[in-house]
Amino acid sequence: MGFEETTPIQEQTIPLGMQGKDVIGQAQTGTGKTAAFGIPMIEKINKDLKAVQGLVIAPTRELAIQVAEEVNRLGKNKGIRTLPIYGGSNMERQIRALRDNQIVVATPGRLLDHIRRKTIKLENVHTAVLDEADEMLNMGFIDDIRDILKALPEHRQTLLFSATMPKEIRDIATTLMKKPEEVKVKSKEMTVENIDQYYVEIPEKHKFDTLTRLLDIHAPALAIVFGRTKRRVDELSDGLQARGFRAEGIHGDLTQGKRMSVLNKFKRGRIEILVATDVAARGLDISDVSHVYNFDIPQDPESYVHRIGRTGRAGRKGESVSFVTPREKAQLHLIEKLTKKKVERLHVPSSDEAKRGQQQVAVDKIKETIDANDLNKYHQAADQLLQDHDASEVVAAALKLLTKERDEVPVRLTSVQPISVKGAQRDKNKNKKNYRKDGNRNFKRSGNNKSRNRKFNSKGKHGFQNKKRNSNVN
């Protein structure tokens, strides 16, 4: 797969996995936890036994598909096949496919359906993995997980992985495991060092204009904008489209087909902005995501870690910006306490700065075109133009043509209540129920494997450094 060295979590947990130990593995987002459990699982599969021997459980359909794809690639040379099973897809076809796959990656709901209908045989499962384990052991899923684990052989290895692992959840976890080894990759911060983290303090009513300005200034390759509710996501993606961005929304009320198609378009770069609820917060591995915007600050500090972790993966650089209304400052502090990392304040950009940002994109395009050195066909026309016009005039006209001038159509969003720290605690339980069940939180990964040949690195920082205070928001 082009990997040159193991990541720390892989180095520390693969040997334990091989020894048959139960493991709770915690490491930052994008650091290769999938292979950390996938490699030892594949190593222990008996190729000659045509039965399910390894089981991975993941919270969303699309994550199940992505993990199955990665494990499939890892097991390819050994001839080990991995099947994703998830709700919303054809049951009969899954039952047939189950016959020749030795590893299954499943969402809890659909797996329980198969267990209850006795359409899956689990007596040969020797390794079970809970990916995003703290999520899987949270209110929404815990009962299903207990039922699933009961259906597995007593003699088995259980592996739990996540970037976050609150203590209460870890305590529940240990009751489901046999003397687990706890591996926590040592790092100062819970978030990845190569994500530059910023916040803007801003009243609710100015958030949208600020978002579009930041998008113009940052010119992200691919960006994810997180909103708090499904309605919010719909309104945001409509608003962004109205201002000329290629944006689409994804949340639990859309059909499976629609979610898949939006996500695939995003991976191929046919849309540049994915607007999402927390349904897209965990596990998704899309390498070109350069920016994450928390349009609404997350209710749950753990969710912040996962959301911003959609960028800065496998040693790449990333940036995150969280919008905080004045009454939500306490929530930001709670996040900083969990991540042990200070989030830097970013000044709110003015509309002039946004315009300069758009022009800069045009300037960069021109520079890239010059560097590409393929202009022979244009020189004659260029010389002609320069005879008749001043050089600066010609370049300015070219820039004007290349600059996407933003149509500042007014966009009004339904306002939402600010998050209060107390409210966040109270709402937590209520919320977990909302995304329960197989189906609401799902994504797929494309076969986009470019840029695989690389080492993990976390090189020095770069990026915008506009930390001046200024709240000029017109």
Ligand X SMILES: Nc1ncnc2c1ncn2[C@@H]1O[C@H](COP(=O)(O)OP(=O)(O)OP(=O)(O)O)[C@@H](O)[C@H]1O
Binding site for ligand X (CB under 6 A): 3, 6-7, 10, 29-35, 70, 163, 283, 285, 309, 313-314, 454, 456
Q: Which does 164 bind (CB under 5 to 8 A by kind): Mg ion, ligand X, none?
A: none
Give which of 148, 144, 141 is closest to 162, Cα–Cα: 141
Q: Burial code of 387-419, b = ≥16 C-beta within 10 A, e = fewer?
A: eeeeeeeeeeeebeebbeebeeeebebeeeebb
Which is nearer to ligand X, 21 or 445 (by Cβ)? 445
Q: Which does 406 bind (CB under 5 to 8 A by kind): ligand X, Mg ion, none?
A: none
Q: Which does 213 bind (CB under 5 to 8 A by kind): Mg ion, ligand X, none?
A: none
Q: Which does 251 bind (CB under 5 to 8 A by kind): ligand X, Mg ion, none?
A: none
Binding-site residue total for Mg ion (CB under 5 A)? Answer: 2
3-state secondary structure of 398: helix
Integer Cα distance of 352 and 373 in angstroms: 32
Strand partners, 160: 24, 130
Integer Cα distance of 352 and 349 in angstroms: 8
Nearest-approach distance from CB 10 to ligand X, in angstroms: 6
Q: Which does 35 bind (CB under 5 to 8 A by kind): ligand X, Mg ion, none?
A: ligand X
Decide if 102 contacts 396 (C-beta within 8 A): no
Which is nearer to Mg ion, 185 or 236 (by Cβ)? 185
Q: Which does 54 bind (CB under 5 to 8 A by kind): Mg ion, ligand X, none?
A: none
Which is nearer to ligand X, 105 or 163 (by Cβ)? 163
Tell whether residue 38 is a contact of Mg ion (CB under 5 A).
no
Decide if 280 contacts 251 (C-beta within 8 A): no
Nearest-approach distance from CB 7 to ligand X, in angstroms: 5
Nearest-approach distance from CB 149 to ligand X, in angstroms: 21
Q: Which does 285 bind (CB under 5 to 8 A by kind): ligand X, Mg ion, none?
A: ligand X
Q: Which does 456 bind (CB under 5 to 8 A by kind): Mg ion, ligand X, none?
A: ligand X
Alpha-carbon distance values, 229 to 247, 275, 277, 301, 336 (Å): 17, 11, 6, 17, 23
Which is nearer to ligand X, 425 or 449 (by Cβ)? 449
Q: Burial code of 72-103, b = ≥16 C-beta within 10 A, e = fewer?
A: bbbbeeeebbbbbbbbbeeeeebeeebeebbb
Both tokens of 147, joined, read 């039922």
Nearest-approach distance from CB 449 to ligand X, in angstroms: 8
Which is nearer to ligand X, 202 or 280 (by Cβ)? 280
Strand partners, 225: 275, 293
Residues between 274 and 333 that touch Mg ion (CB under 5 A):
283
Nearest-approach distance from CB 313 to Mg ion, in angstroms: 10
Q: Which does 314 bind (CB under 5 to 8 A by kind): Mg ion, ligand X, none?
A: ligand X
Which is nearer to ligand X, 237 or 287 (by Cβ)? 287
Q: Which does 351 bind (CB under 5 to 8 A by kind): ligand X, Mg ion, none?
A: none
Closest residue to bound Mg ion by CB:
283
Which is nearer to Mg ion, 283 or 312 (by Cβ)? 283
**Single-letter amino acid, residue 340:** K
Q: What are phi and psi of 144, to 5 degrees?
A: -60, -40
Which is nearer to ligand X, 3 or 464 (by Cβ)? 3
**Single-letter amino acid, residue 430:** K
Nearest-approach distance from CB 5 to ligand X, in angstroms: 6
Nearest-approach distance from CB 381 to ligand X, in angstroms: 44
Q: Which does 350 bind (CB under 5 to 8 A by kind): Mg ion, ligand X, none?
A: none
Element (H, E) at 134: helix 133-136
Strand partners, 196: 319
Nearest-approach distance from CB 304 to ligand X, in angstroms: 13
Which is nearer to ligand X, 71 or 348 (by Cβ)? 71
Q: Burial code of 237-264, b = ≥16 C-beta within 10 A, e = fewer?
A: bebbbebebebbbbbbebebeebbebbb
Nearest-approach distance from CB 219 to ligand X, in angstroms: 24
Nearest-approach distance from CB 136 to ligand X, in angstroms: 13
* End-to-end Cα spacing for the chain: 49
Longest dimension (CA), the chain: 85
Which is nearer to Mg ion, 194 or 212 (by Cβ)? 194
Which is nearer to Mg ion, 25 or 283 (by Cβ)? 283
Integer Cα distance of 36 and 445 in angstroms: 19
Nearest-approach distance from CB 33 to ligand X, in angstroms: 3
Alpha-carbon distance values, 277 to 78, 274, 322, 434 (Å): 38, 10, 14, 12
Write out the residues near Mg ion by the rule CB under 5 A: 33, 283
